[in-house]
Amino acid sequence: MVVRNPRLGGYKRKRFTVSATEPTMSLFRWINARHWMKRWPMKWLIFAVAALIVCFPFPNLLWRHLQHWRDPNALIVGEQKVLDPLVEEIRPSVDALSTPKEKLRRIEKFVYEKVPYDWDWNTWGQADYFPTVEEVMQKGKEDCDGRAVVAAALMRRFGFDARIVTDFAHVWVKTPEAEWMGPGKTKTVVVTDRGLQWQWRGLLELPKAFAYGVAVFPWVREVILLFVTWILLLGPGVGLWRAFIGWVFFAVALPAIRYGGYEYLKPRVEYQWIGLAALMLGFTVMMIGPRRRASQLVAPPVTSTDTKTPG
C-alpha cells in the first residue's frame, strides 16, 4: 500500500497484518482499503450473509421451504392419513350440502376455524416457510400458505380440483368453481400438474408485496439489517457528519415504508414513496461526494515493514 510521506517528499510502501486484538475493525479497514471493484463484492457478500441469517436463521427449514415450493402438488395430496381426523369431523356437514360451492365454502370456513392465523416468524422463526399438512397440524397454527395447503388437500379429498395460487404476498386456493382462502387480485404463480406456471404480469405486484413484507416483518430484525447496511456504507471519505445524516434518512425510511405497506389491499402509496426517497437519499449521502482514495487509508498496524523510495 502506497501512502504519502511528507517528511521525505516522496512515498513509502507499508505492509500491514491484521491485529489479533481487534480483528473486526482491522478486517473492516482492510476491506475499505481495497479498490472499489474488490470492495463492493465483499460488502455485498457480507450483506447477503447477514440478510440470510436475519430472515432464515434455520438453514434446514430454508432448504425444506425451497424443496416444498419446487413441487407443491406433493403437499396437497388428498389421500393423506393426517387428514383422516379432519375429514371425519367435517364430512357430515359437507355431505349435507347440495352444491359444489356450498361444500367448498364449508371446507374454507372449517380450515379457518381449525388453523388459527399466525406469522411464520412466530411459528417457525423464519421470514417464510411453506409447510406440509402434517406440520400445520403439529403446530396448530399457520399463515396463509399453511392454511391454503390444508384447504387444498381437503378439497382434493372431497373430489375437487384444487390448486395453490400466490402473488408473493398471499397464498390462496383456486378451483374450477371459484377461488378460496381470501383470493388476491393478481395471480403470479399457479401450481399445475406440470409444475409452477408463471404469469409475468403478476411481477408488477412485487413492489407492493415487498412493502407489505417490510410492514409486517419484525422491526427489530429490520433494524439489524438497516444497521448492517449503514456500517457497510461507511467507506473511504465518509465522515461522522455524513454518516449521521445517512442514518437519519434510513431511520425515516423504515417507518414510512412500514406504515405505507401495512394495508396490502389499500396501501398508502405516498408513504411508500416517502420511505423510498429517504432510503435513496441515505445511500446518496453516504456514497456520493468528495472522498479520499481507498489506497490512502492506512489502518493502525501491529507490525510494519517500511521500504523508502526517494521522491
- In tens, the pLDDT along 140-181 reads 999 999 999 999 999 999 999 999 998 888 899 999 999 999
Q: Is residue 273 in a domain?
A: yes
Extract the residue ranges of the chain whose pLDDT is less than 70: 1-25, 289-311
Specify whether 98 is located in the same domain as 217: no
**CA–CA separation, 102 vs 95, rounded Å?**
10
Instruction: Indicate the residue among 139, 170, 198 that finishes a domain.
Output: 198
Which DSSP string corresponds to 194-233? TEEEE-GGGGGGHHHHHHHHHHHS-HHHHHHHHHHHHHHT
Q: Supply φ then ψ for residue 86, to 5 degrees.
A: -70, -40
> Within a domain: residue 190?
yes
Alpha-carbon gap, residue 191 to 143, rounded angstroms: 19
Residue range of the domain that includes 12? 2-56+208-296
- Residue 307 forms part of a structural domain: no
Tell me which DSSP letter residue 278 carries.
Answer: H
Q: Grid coordinates standing for 149?
A: 395447503
Task: Evaluate whether 184 touches 169 at the Cβ level (below 8 Å).
Answer: yes
- Spatial CA neighbour of 114 closest among 80, 137, 83: 137
Determine the distance from the C-alpha atom of residue 141 to the mean position of all C-alpha atoms in its chain, rounded to a whole number: 21
Q: Taking the model in full, what pTM does it have?
A: 0.78
pLDDT recorded at residue 301: 54
Give residue 302's pLDDT.
52
* Same domain for 38 and 17: yes
Domain count, the chain: 2
Helix (H) and strand (E) counts in the chain: 12, 8
User: Residue 117: what pLDDT?
Assistant: 95
Assess whether 190 and 83 both reside in one domain.
Answer: yes
